[in-house]
Structure 1
Amino acid sequence: MPVITAPLDSTSHQDPADSDQLFPIREVSRLTGVNPVTLRAWERRYGLIQPTRTESGHRLYSKSDIETVHRILDWIGRGVAVSKVGKILARDDQQATVVRSEQDTVEDAEWPQWQARLRQAVSGFDDRMLERLYGQIAGTYPLSVAFQNVLMPLWEELLRHRSQFGQASEWLFYDAFLCAQVAQRLHLACASPAPRVVMAAIPGECRELELLVAALLISRDDLAVKVLGMGQPFDELTLVCEKTQPCALVVFSNHSPNHDLHRRLNRLALTMDCPLFLAGAASELAEDDLAGSSIGCLGNEGRLMQRRLRQFLNGQLDT
């Protein structure tokens, strides 16, 4: 397990988001909460980070390196062993390259500018300004871009720093706002006569907003997504589907799958009258275990999840 140090007050230090300069290992440790010993081990043993070196051999880390450290921490927090993180990061980078090529009309430089304005609204607990910015972002970009490249990265940043004084309140304010906005969109979509997909989280394996955003990105005009409440009992999903008759059930998890997940999903699939799918980070990590089963893996990226779900339901993709 990595050795984590408590983050210190950052008021007297320069934030890497404000500069392209290189940072020494002690500053990276302060910014990320990861002990220098652990940072060196991630470099030497696993090749997860590749800092540059000064002529005297001292490590210097870029903003990209610091972002990589946060990504590593996110995956470790989901229960993934550090020895497996490298392969996941490489896969995520490959997916991001594909998504970026599909979004070549979007200026990446605009996203940090929107996030800076959002951060100002959040730090001032200004719900009116936040609602105005949200409407502008949602009206400027496709939903997948708005959430994955603008809204959720700030949410994740605030979540990482919520242990600092004041940050927890800011994250809760922003989280509650986004949950309300996404839930309202999903509710309006479910009022239409379009066929429904039921979506449920595996208890304790994601946050509510992650589930809601995934449902929003999966939904489309001809397919509504009904999200079950957080804490929905796994063993009662069959009962819910018997009564609601959805065209599919999507189970969502952002946690590393335990050894029993594929067995539980296979047992659940045997009791279902509709197709069963797994979405979220767990679907990518469990893909090998579920290969050849009746459970389809949708992935963890908005456009990919929607595309795979459509292909599965249309019989264009085998589980």
Structure 2
Amino acid sequence: MFPVKAAAELSGLTPETLRAWERRHGAVVPHRDEQGRRLYDAAMVDRLTRLHRLTNRGHPIRDLAALDDAALDGLLEESRQAGYGGVDLLPERMLDAIADYQVDVFDRELSVAIATLPTAVLLARVVMPLLREVGVRWADGRLAIAQERLVSSLLRTRLLSVLNQHPREQRPRVLFATLPGEPHELGLLGAALYAHDAGAPVLYLGAQLPAEELARVSGRLGAAAVALSSIDPGHAPDALAQLRALDAALSPGVPVWLGGGNARYLAEALGIERVQAITDPAALARMVQRRFASIRGRAVPRFES
């Protein structure tokens, strides 16, 4: 439960705007504690965040307040589609350039996309479709191994530059890595960018870090969470052993977030409360938001009515 000031901060509003939306439009109906002070749960904060984004795009709050969360998500998606209609052709155009070894063309297109698109749109509409198409073209012989590696190398370099452009040095940070035997890191890098976009200070450690080293860095920095990616099914048994070692060495209270194709299996097989599978960017953004809200809540216990 979050007091007015914290709920407003997390959703990007001022406390005055939150109160006005609540009083005039019934945008949310807060809980009350024994003293009558208003408290907001995580679902309310998520809803207020959606409302804030849509009002920034020109939708009046009086029209939005009566809509359920699914309808708000639909409006947000329509807004993205309308605002970036030409983006869907970009991955194919970039891969056509790589097929002719026109590295400068690929890099220019990618650089322009990074400079002009919001992070969520860049990842969902350019990077992920690009990686899927790489897989298709490699499988049917239209893309050579050298071309596939060019794409991976250029993507990694440019996306890391985004993450490192405005590093957030404040602590605690979310650590991103893969465990030993997991060399594939583009999905992990995308997740780190989503978390960064959601407001988390991120420290990207890269591929194949042993559990003991992760725990050591986490303890040294007082990490807020450790985020890992595991996609190779053949590596799952080793990943289970490493995750058990990580759980034993990691400080109490530090959550472990798993992404990638193995995430659900690993989380269920371990049955460790702090190890959670995260299956989509929206879920990651919510986890980031809640984690840092809980940290702030411990630091600032004062409530506002």
Taking structure 1 as the reference length, what is the TM-score of the superposition? 0.58
**Measured at CA, do residues 222 and 144 of structure 1 come closer, stay the same or move farther in structure 2, by a change above 3 Å?**
closer
Matches within 5 A, 1:53-202: 102-107=76-81, 110-162=86-138, 164=141, 167-190=144-167, 192-193=169-170, 195-202=172-179
The answer to whether the Cα contact below 8 Å between 1:125 and 1:170 also exists between their aligned partners in 2 is: yes
- Counting matched residue pairs gives 219
**Measured at CA, do residues 119 and 259 of structure 1 come closer, stay the same or move farther in structure 2, by a change above 3 Å?**
closer
Q: RMSD across aligned C-alpha pairs, in angstroms?
A: 3.3
Structure with the bigger RCO (C-alpha within 8 Å, sep 6+) is 2
**Measured at CA, do residues 122 and 294 of structure 1 come closer, stay the same or move farther in structure 2, by a change above 3 Å?**
same
**Deviation of 1:130 (Å):** 2.1
**Equivalent position of 1:31 in the other structure:** none
**Measured at CA, do residues 291 and 161 of structure 1 come closer, stay the same or move farther in structure 2, by a change above 3 Å?**
same
Is residue 246 of structure 2 the alignment partner of residue 268 of structure 1? yes
**Equivalent position of 1:295 in the other structure:** 275
**Measured at CA, do residues 159 and 100 of structure 1 come closer, stay the same or move farther in structure 2, by a change above 3 Å?**
farther
**Equivalent position of 1:242 in the other structure:** 219
**Deviation of 1:285 (Å):** 3.4
**Deviation of 1:312 (Å):** 3.7
Counterpart Cα distance in 2 of 1:137 and 1:304: 24
**Deviation of 1:260 (Å):** 7.2
Is residue 240 of structure 2 the alignment partner of residue 281 of structure 1? no
**Equivalent position of 1:308 in the other structure:** 287
SS in 1 for 2:122: helix
**Equivalent position of 2:189 in the other structure:** 212
**Deviation of 1:291 (Å):** 5.4
Deviations 1:197-252 (A, max 9, x none): 11110223351222212211222374222122322122332222233332221122
Counterpart Cα distance in 2 of 1:157 and 1:222: 30
The answer to whether the Cα contact below 8 Å between 1:111 and 1:150 also exists between their aligned partners in 2 is: yes
SS in 1 for 2:207: coil
Matched residues, percent identical?
20
The answer to whether the Cα contact below 8 Å between 2:188 and 2:228 also exists between their aligned partners in 1 is: no
**Deviation of 1:289 (Å):** 3.9
- Give 1 or 2: higher helix fraction: 2
1:227 equivalent among 198, 204, 212: 204
Taking structure 2 as the reference length, what is the TM-score of the superposition? 0.60
Counterpart Cα distance in 2 of 1:232 and 1:259: 16
**Deviation of 1:181 (Å):** 0.6
Deviations 1:141-171 (A, max 9, x none): 3212222222222223223433637522221
Counterpart Cα distance in 2 of 1:243 and 1:250: 16
**Deviation of 1:194 (Å):** 5.8
The answer to whether the Cα contact below 8 Å between 1:206 and 1:253 also exists between their aligned partners in 2 is: no
Amino acid at match of 1:245: G
**Measured at CA, do residues 135 and 260 of structure 1 come closer, stay the same or move farther in structure 2, by a change above 3 Å?**
closer
Counterpart Cα distance in 2 of 1:135 and 1:124: 19
Amino acid at match of 2:134: L
**Measured at CA, do residues 113 and 308 of structure 1 come closer, stay the same or move farther in structure 2, by a change above 3 Å?**
same
Counterpart Cα distance in 2 of 1:125 and 1:137: 20
